[in-house]
Amino acid sequence: MENIETKELKTAFYATFSQGFFATLTFSMFMVNSPILFDLIDMTKTEFSMGFIIFGICNVITNQLTTRFLLPKIGSTNCLIIARLLYAFIPFSIFYFSSYNFFIFVSMLWGISIGIQAPNIFTQVAIIEEKTKKILNPIFKSSFNFGFLLGAGISSLCLGLEIDPVYTTFIVGLFVFISTLTMYFFGLNMKYDVVNKDPRFSIPNYKIIMFASINMCIIAFMGIIIQWSPLWLVTDLSAPIFLVGSIVIFFNLGEIISNMFASKLITKLGEVIVGPCFAMVGSTILVLSIFSQNIIIIFIAITLFGMLISNVMPIVFRQAVKNSQNPIPVTISHVSSIAFVGAIFGPAVVGISAETFGLTFNMYALGVIMFLIALLMFFIMREDKLVGVEGIEPTPPK
């Protein structure tokens, strides 16, 4: 029979799950509608990438400040409420005002809001994992996939019906805004928060830097799918407009399927197989499918790619907490801050590459880069005996 604490933590996990879902729902709707934005404000791919560079810079700075000053004062759940309120109407405002200067401005605001959210949301998951002794990170990651999936589906449908993105983003934004009530009533109680009593900035150890760098590269280059695949489908593969969000949909569908079975897979096969080994196979499948230039084959390959790389980031967070001597919030802040550096240089590299070599080249590059990232992770995890399958067993809160 469940005790009161177990019920509280279970409910809190669902609330934290909803936070991840709504964050990616709004982002996905913006990205799938981005081909229309190019026409509205007549910007280049490089100019579009500049918004994401600014997003990344604001994200990293806010991430560090939040963990050290905002979280100890108001708690992780209140931080998540503030973040959701901030980004709820950002996609709507971009399409409504249709101005490049405004796009740059709200990119700053978006970066700040996700900078507030990122350390708190992953800290909550780590705390709940530690207290329940369950593997929850892969399941939590599926919240992002559900958000991307629904956002891409709604946007593709509305584009096919020729509904103005201003209307769809406003309705969804209103829903996201109201949904903050779920965090207010059911979010993680402040008594469970692990407070960092020493706000001084610290340098993470070698292992944390290496694991965080893996996530940094993933964030830097996975934008090729999230940012550029809608445009790639329409321009290079001549897909009809109603298929514009298909790659985002199939990729996230594959990740959801994998995340649902991640705990059992890790228990049976171990994290080295489920993480880097699966990712290397998925990357190879992606590259081979692009050679075909066949939309159906690419859709199947993207689904398999999503399934096989989906557990890399959750495993990175688990290993980082295990290998850190710092309190959980500080460790998560280190990992997420370094990871989101990828959002600073990634868009610039990808944008310039798209302008110079084309979007198809970027898709090939994604497969090759993910293979190399997985190979690096394989060697890091083989270096020592790392966290086992029995649970996360993080360093006790200090």
Q: At which residue do the structure tokens 């939040």 appear?
A: 66
Give the contacts of 197 (CB within 8 A, at least 6 positions apart).
Answer: 72
Q: At which residue do the structure tokens 């593969």 appear?
A: 237
Q: HSE, CB side, 13 Å, CA atoms: give it for residue 219.
A: 26
Residue 133: per-residue pLDDT: 84
Residue 4: per-residue pLDDT: 66
pLDDT digit string (tens) for the chain, length 398 residues: 467 678 889 999 999 999 999 999 999 899 888 878 888 888 877 788 788 889 989 988 998 888 878 888 899 999 999 999 999 999 999 999 989 999 999 999 999 999 999 889 988 998 898 888 888 888 898 899 899 889 988 988 888 888 999 999 999 999 999 999 999 999 998 888 876 665 566 677 778 888 888 888 888 877 677 667 877 888 888 877 777 778 878 988 898 889 888 888 888 888 899 999 999 999 999 999 999 989 899 999 999 999 999 888 888 888 887 777 777 777 877 888 788 788 777 777 877 887 888 888 988 998 999 999 999 999 888 765 544 444 443 333 33
Residue 199: per-residue pLDDT: 58
Query: Do the beta carbons of residue 206 and residue 39 sit within 8 Å?
Result: no
Residue 364: per-residue pLDDT: 92
**In the structure encoding, which two tokens stand for residue 353, read together?**
């590459």
Query: Do the beta carbons of residue 164 and residue 40 sit within 8 Å?
Result: no
Query: Do the beta carbons of residue 347 and residue 52 sit within 8 Å?
Result: yes
Residue 91: per-residue pLDDT: 94
CATH (residue range 4-192+204-383) = 1.20.1250.20
> Closest Cα to residue 143, out of 7, 300, 314, 299?
314
pTM for the complete prediction? 0.76
Residue 298: per-residue pLDDT: 92
> Closest Cα to residue 82, out of 68, 66, 98, 95?
66
Residue 387: per-residue pLDDT: 45
Residue 51: per-residue pLDDT: 87
> Closest Cα to residue 376, out of 158, 240, 209?
209
